[in-house]
Structure 1
Amino acid sequence: MQSSELSVQGQNLIQLYNQYYRDKLIVDRRYQRKLVWTRDEKEKLIDSAINKLPIPLILLAQRKRAGVEIFELIDGLQRLEAFFSFMENKYSYRGEYFDLATTGDTLAKLHARELTQQKPVMSRETSLAIANYQIPLSIYRDAATSSIDEVFRRINSGGRRLSLHEIRQAGVTGPLADVVRRTSATIRGDGTFAEALTLSEMEKLSISRRDLTYGLDLDRIFWTRHDIIGAEDIRSSGDEEMVLDLVLDAVLDPWPTSGWQNRDVAYGLPRKITSATSEEVGAAINTIGVENLQQRIVAVIELLDDVMRDHGSLGRHMVHLESYERGTQRQFQAIFAALYELVFIDGLQPRSMDAIRGVLDNFWGRDLSIPTGGSAWGKDKKATLYPEVKRRLRRAFFKPEPKSAAVQLNSRLLIESYLSGPVNEDPLVELKQGFCVLSNPPTENVDLFDEVMQTAVGMANWSRDASGFILIGVADKPSAADRLKELFNVSPIEIHGQQVVGTSEQITHLGYDVDSWWRKWQSKIRSAPVDSDFRNNLAHSFSPIICDGKVLWIMKPRSTGKPLSYNQRFFVRMGASTHEMGTDEFLAHVALNF
């Protein structure tokens, strides 16, 4: 592990809140847990501050991102969020709210109407005591990403109130951890695109909403709405363990045993069993692609959600029981595995939502049985059960002719996650309306490919660990949406204030179908004048994605860890635009960010 300077000091909440106020405190979602503390836990922390009781040390890593100094939270996320949300009047302590006039930063937010003083107001003396509370702080300076990951893994591998999956996931990177984390977040509704968020942005992703006014509503999440996983299990990452099992079923042949030891081995942890290794699982995922696999899993989830829309709970529909002590995880897992094969392996399409719903009615109340309880679900049982489940579901599907490479399942959840947040100002996000110049008649935008490639390279050059996305099929301005309506009779779908217009009408106008257009652009990307590893990964990420019947295109440029040129020119994202740099300016940028 790289040697770095470690300093231990004390800072009061006023000082730490100032870093939070200036968006200097960053949460890396590759390894950090969700916000899960309940209101009771948060109030106990405030009680510790008032009574001057010690709390565990907060660990930060000092880093530079895009040339700006930031502090990455390694340990202490729940505690700091609890303090700061109290200081911002998000909850009370013994019925009283923090006095916003106590600190300069909270007062500034009050004057800017970013905060509202709730009542009754805590005394200034008590509020000041909280604001001056000394936090034990350790700052890990000049730390590499690999060092931070290792520190986080060691801190969280001691079993401190973490679930088996939280221990398994702590600090682990790679294709399996990536697809599990991203897919789980998208299904929960906290699938923001960014790998790193400011601490102030984390509150909207909190799943500790009970008795609080912010965060995600657990009762509205797919898993709880359909009686598959209980709310408390989601708090301890039971949904992520569910997604892990779905991923392993999807990519491994034959279907693997589902058990805690098998999951550990897939994550690279040593266990005395024979099971698919992390290398084997990673290779299987990479064959499909992390992004593509995520899209597939979310598409099957959305298919089942659409099947049951306005018809109640999927769990209660599959199993006609009144109570679910342990949910319907395994029943769902078997249904998912069958649907995944029918759609993505066999290339079938649903006859209708009614047809699937009819097959699923009391599906597990007939002559099918499924293992229950906490023990491992053996691969031998799956080998006999899954094909029978698939056979029964098959009658709700048909074989389309001709077979299309682009599977037409809805991925609105993914689009919603991509378009959440301030995408119009994000340097790692670019939205394009489509492939045509909106003249009359429309013509192909022959400059678009170069523009997209320059943007992709500019995103990769933003920093050593940059990861961006380009979405084609979203109007970049209202006038473009109006023009598409006029030229192609396109009715946009509004998602998070963005106008989703799709591209199928433009592609058809240019004489292509989705598959031929896909092949054309992938071929152009693979022959582009840019680093071969970068262009191959970029071509692999480029794919169609369906949102309520509209065809969009996603491209996800990632840094290769080194600066890139495109056609011997240097590009960097600056704000929401792509800027070409001369050699000296680019070298200065590289020195700051690589």
Structure 2
Amino acid sequence: MAILRKLDIRPESVESIYGYYRKKMLLVNRKYQRKLVWGIDEKEKFIDSIYNGLPIPLILVAVTKYKDSTVYEIIDGMQRLNAIVSFIQNEVHLGGKYFNLETLALTKALKDKGKIEQKEPKLSIEECLEITSYQLPFSISSYDKEADIEEIFRRINSYGKTLSSHELRQAGSTGTFTQIVRDLAENIRKDVSPSDKILLGNMRRISLSNRGLKYGIDLRDVFWHKQSILTENNIRASRDEEIIAHLVIAMLLDYDINISSTSLDRAYGLSDDNEENIDTSELIKRYGGPEFIKLQFESIFQEIQNTLDAYKFNFRTLLFREPSKYMNNAFQAIFLSFHNLLVKEQLKIDNYRELNKELNGIGDKYITPHIEEIRHRAARKRVIDSISGVLRKHFSKREETDPALSNGVVKLESLLSASKTENSSYDFKQGFYQMDKENKNIKEKVLRTLCSFVNLGRNAVGYVVIGVADTKHMASQFEKYYGEKSLQFNDFFINGIDAECQKRYKSLDEYRTKFEQLVRSSDIQPEYYKSQILKNIDLFTYRDKSVMILKIESKDDPLKLNGKFYHRQGTSTEEVPSSSERELWGLFLK
């Protein structure tokens, strides 16, 4: 089936192009278009080509609808179209002279209204007419669906060298991984737009400009340039997105991947051998979803930013006393070291200033000696371990739950693995309701079990995990009852609480609140255990499933629930007979 429904190639004057711009008819789709990156030199050279009558490449647009108006979506030629607008609006010049606003009725009217200011010296009207009458090759296409426009863009740019290798990756893939990288990059560069589709006039406001232009984002203020990690040209070529892509895939694969163009091609699903491509959609789902990944990435990034801001050194001068050209690899090593400490080890930074001091010269000592091999996974892992070891003394255990820095996969799998060695301190429930005709609410039973862990003695710790079945029979019963499969880890089956929540509650918040209400209404003595239970309710995402962990730690006293003591007998919860209460108190004697 043909992608193209209609094609009309015709000449359009520069004057007409500017008219389309003023009528808000030129639309940019950021889903596949790269940034506005031409600087003053590129724009002036392009205008010079027009003035001298040199041929220029075809400008390709597609007819589409935007906010109930018919517009031209730019497929190829965005930089050229923007250069024309910049010249006519006196933002760039030709040979030291600016466009004469008296040349066109439209520009004269804009000048008279004070919307455009005439700069001096200016070209003659005759010289300007040479430019505005120039006929550009303009191709107007029609398509049945938006995906066809994206496909044409990818094909056009895959044949040329106008885009960098990473821009071609971004243009060649429109999946979730691509969107995560794009969103993170825009947030860091600060060129965020409310939607992917944006008029060229608004696109200019978030373009990456240099100091000679009064609009857009000054590249000198972008994090990557300010920290001397990337040059202006690097950022224009999307090397920042390349770094982010490497980091995201490293997070998803637990650092077990090389830093290479081949690795990125596999992550974007662009490998020549389809079997080599990485199923990033599944990895993203398992990690906790795109929003969680972006939140966690930005949280780590902010902690790095906070550390750098503690003293006014930039990244390069802080890490390296000697010149280094491998700043992108160095940043990845530091980022993943922070990820290791903040997420994997669940630590928090104690003092940003002291941590900043510790980073002073760390690149010379731990990164430079391995710089030739740091692109390989094993060498990078050694560097991460070394840097983590040096920085760890400025971190401490995080007591409070931080959803952005909590890795649900690491958390749950670590707990499940630990339960195999001390099963009397763990209990697993597929949910708060039995899966039978009675559908009995077992919240009170869960609370009794949780409280019983305290009565194992001083300093005992107990967990009840809601959303996990510890037998295959229970997992099969769950699938039969709710019609959803569980995820297996070792001998456990993670079914999550989402299906039960959807059946019986309005939201996960209500699911949690109902248990909190039970705790508050129960007579728990001493009272401090009640506060501890409420504080330690941890609701998080494991891959694509919601899981709740209830935790309790014994202190100086045994716990009495609604006037009774309970204790664990193997994997069962039983009431402590009055004849054994003295023995129970003996477990708490100092």
Which of 379, 382, 396 is the matching residue for 2:380? 382
Mapping for residues 142-157 of structure 1, pairs under 5 Å? 142-157=143-158
Tell whether the 8 Å contact from 1:207 to 1:218 is kept in structure 2 after alignment: yes
> 1:355 Cα deviation (Å)?
2.9
Q: Structure 2 CA distance, aligned partners of 1:192 and 1:286?
A: 25
State the partner residue of 2:10: 9
Which secondary structure does the structure 2 equivalent of 1:108 belong to?
helix
Q: Does 1:135 align with 2:136?
A: yes
Q: For 2:507 and 2:252, locate their aligned partners in 1 and report how far apart those are by CA, in whole Å.
A: 24
Contact kept? 2:299, 2:405, Cα under 8 Å: no
Offset of residue 359 of structure 1: 2.3
The 2-side partners of 1:130 and 1:114 are apart by 22
3-state SS, counterpart of residue 217 of structure 2 = coil
Instruction: Give distance in 2, aligned partners of 1:31 and 1:283.
Output: 23
Q: Look up the match of 1:307.
A: 307
Over the aligned positions, Cα root-mean-square deviation in angstroms equals: 2.8
* Contact 1:227–1:327 (CA under 8 A) maintained in structure 2: no
Q: 1:306 deviation in Å?
A: 2.0
Q: Which whole-Å CA distance do the structure 1 matches of 2:367 and 2:35 have between them?
A: 37
Deviations 1:115-136 (A, max 9, x none): 1111112111111221221111
Q: Deviations over 1:27-52 (max 9, x none)?
A: 11111111222322212221222222
Match of 1:399 among 397, 400, 405: 397
Larger relative contact order (Cα-Cα within 8 Å, sequence gap ≥ 6): 1
Please list the CA deviations of residues 193-231 of structure 1 after superposition, one character each: whole Å capped at 9, or x if unmatched: 321111112223333425333332222211122122222
The alpha carbon displacement at 1:367 in A equals: 5.2
Q: CA deviation at 1:407?
A: 4.8
Q: Residue type matched to 1:328 in 2?
A: M
The answer to whether the 8 Å contact 2:143/2:149 transfers is: no
Q: Is the 8 A contact 1:226 1:313 kept in 2?
A: yes
Match of 1:520 in 2: 509
8 Å CA contact 1:175–1:286 kept in 2: the answer is no
Aligned to 1:575: none
Given that residues 57 and 76 in structure 1 are in contact (C-alpha distance below 8 angstroms), is that contact kept between their aligned partners in structure 2? yes
SS of residue paired to 1:333: helix
Q: Counterpart of 1:362?
A: 361
Equivalence map 1:422-437=2 (5 Å)? none
* Residue aligning to 1:467: none
Q: How does 1:533-572 map to 2 (within 5 A)?
A: none
- Local SS of the residue matching 1:102: coil
Matched, 1:298 2:305: no
Deviations 1:380-399 (A, max 9, x none): 22233323322332222222
CA distance in 2, matches of 1:176, 1:83: 34
Is contact 2:4–2:141 with CA below 8 Å preserved after alignment?
Answer: no
Q: In 2, Cα distance between the equivalents of 1:406 and 1:259?
A: 28
Query: How far apart, in 2, do the equivalents of 1:376 and 1:149 lie?
Result: 36
CA contact (8 A) 2:43 2:92 kept: no
Aligned residue type for 2:240: D
- What is the CA distance between 1:105 and its match in structure 2? 2.8
2:83 counterpart residue number: 82
CA–CA distance in structure 2, aligned partners of residues 384 and 96 of structure 1: 58
1:369–1:106 Cα change, 3 Å = same
Partners of 1:203 and 1:215 within 8 A in 2: yes
TM-score by length of 2: 0.65
Compared CA separation, residues 245 and 370, structure 1 to 2 (3 A):
farther
* C-alpha distance in structure 2 between counterparts of 1:256 and 1:30, whole Å: 27
User: Does the CA contact (< 8 Å) of 1:261 and 1:273 recur in 2?
Assistant: no
1:470-529 deviations in Å (ceiling 9; x for gaps): xxxxxxxxxxxxxxxxxxxxxxxxxxxxxxxxxxxxxxxxxxxxxxx99528999xxxxx
Query: Structure 1 residue 289: deviation in Å?
Result: 2.4
CA distance in 1, matches of 2:302, 2:251: 16
Matches within 5 A, 1:89-238: 89-238=90-239
SS at the partner of 1:64?
strand
CA distance in 2, matches of 1:290, 1:521: 24
CA distance in 2, matches of 1:129, 1:404: 63
Aligned to 2:250: 249
Amino acid at match of 1:66: K
Specify the alignment match of 2:556 in structure 1: none
Verify: 1:331 aligned to 2:330, yes or no: yes
- Please state if 1:352 is matched with 2:351: yes
Alignment match, 1:491: none
Q: Which whole-Å CA distance do the structure 1 matches of 2:70 and 2:143 have between them? A: 11
SS at the partner of 1:387? helix
Distance 2:368 2:40 in 1: 41
**Percent identical residues:** 31
SS in 2 for 1:101: coil
> Is 1:350–1:396's contact at 8 Å kept on the other side of the alignment?
yes
Q: Whole-Å Cα distance in 2 between the matches of residues 385 and 404 of structure 1? A: 26
**Structure 2 matches for 1:384-463, cutoff 5 A?**
384-405=382-403, 407=405
- Check conservation: 1:371, 1:377, Cα contact below 8 A: no
Q: Is 2:101–2:118's contact at 8 Å kept on the other side of the alignment? A: yes
Q: TM-score, normalised by structure 1?
A: 0.65
Give 1:342 shift. 2.4
Indicate the larger mover: 152-161 or 345-354.
Answer: 345-354
The superposition leaves residues 306-344 of structure 1 with CA deviations (integer Å, 9 ceiling, x where unpaired) of 2122421122111222x33x2411121011012123223
SS at match of 1:92: coil
Q: Is the 8 A contact 1:308 1:357 kept in 2?
A: yes
User: Match of 2:453?
Assistant: none
Write the letter of the residue equivalent to 2:349.
Answer: P
Q: Which residues in structure 2 correspond to 1:569-580 (within 5 Å)? A: none
CA contact (8 A) 1:61 1:143 kept: no
Q: Counterpart of 2:371?
A: 372
Matched with 1:469 is none
Cα 1:143–1:115 change in 2 (3 A) is farther
Q: Within 1, Cα distance between the matches of 2:359 and 2:164?
A: 32
Deviates more, 1:128-137 or 1:248-257: 248-257
Using the TM superposition, give the Cα deviation of residue 77 of structure 1 relative to its aligned residue in structure 2, in angstroms: 0.5
Secondary structure, counterpart of 1:100 in structure 2: coil
On the 8 A contact 1:61/1:74 being kept in 2, the answer is: yes
CA contact (8 A) 1:10 1:135 kept: yes
Deviation readout 1:348-372 (Å, 9 max, x if unpaired)? 2211211321321211233565543
Inter-partner Cα distance in structure 2 for 1:344 and 1:104: 61
Letter paired with 2:302: E
Number of aligned residue pairs: 414
The 3 A distance-change label for structure 1 pair 111 and 311 is same
Contact 2:350 2:395 in 1 (8 A): yes
| Secondary structure in structure 2 of the residue aligned to 1:304 | helix
Indicate if the aligned counterparts of 1:159 and 1:167 stay in contact, CA closer than 8 A.
Answer: no
User: Would you say the 8 A contact 2:35–2:208 is kept in 1?
Assistant: yes
Residue aligned with 1:170, SS: helix
Would the aligned equivalents of 2:3 and 2:143 in 1 still touch at CA under 8 Å?
A: no
Matched position secondary structure for 2:136 = strand
Find the residue that maps to 1:119 and give its secondary structure.
coil
Q: Which runs of 5+ in 1 are unaligned?
A: 409-516, 525-539, 541-594
Pick the structure with greater CA Rg: 2
Change in 2 beyond 3 A, CA 1:181/1:405: closer
State the AA in 2 paired with 1:285.
I
Matched residue type, 1:520: D
**Residue matched to 1:45:** 46
